[in-house]
Amino acid sequence: MLHALYLLGTAAFAASGVLAAHRAAMDPFAVLVLAVLTGVAGEVIRDVLCGEFPPLLLREEVYATAAFAGAAAFLALHRTDAPDTVAIAVSAALVFALRLAAIFGDLHLPRLRRAPR
């Protein structure tokens, strides 16, 4: 149950960043950057306040990817003239689904390996 609340936090932080950037009439690149920054920073703050150490961000790298995908979905829906409420709901749902897959489905980004010397 606690993990579900964590997932909702990720979606809420990323969605708030998307909405703030969009309402400030920023260009699409700035919307993407602000969504990723608010999503990641919000999660780090949450981890620190909950006593998670090291923060989950340092153990799982899907936070920024999920926030980026949610912001991209918002921008794509906005270009099709979808209402902002629909676009933000789909964006948050996508972030939630990606984080859900990362936690319960053991989804991770590829890790870089050091080249042998």
Q: Each residue of 67-96: pLDDT tens digit?
A: 899 999 999 999 999 999 999 999 999 998
Residue 68: per-residue pLDDT: 93
Q: What is the mean pLDDT of the chain?
A: 83
Residue 113's CB: how many other CB atoms inside 10 A?
6
Contact (CB, 8 A) for 84 and 28? no
Which of the four pLDDT bands, split at 50, 70 and 90, describes residue 57?
Answer: low
Contact (CB, 8 A) for 66 and 102? yes
Residue 25 pLDDT exceeds 60: yes
The amino acid sitting at 115 is A
Boundaries of every domain in the chain: 2-104
pTM score over 0.85: no
Residue 4 pLDDT exceeds 80: no
Contact (CB, 8 A) for 46 and 18? no
d(CA 74, CA 115): 38
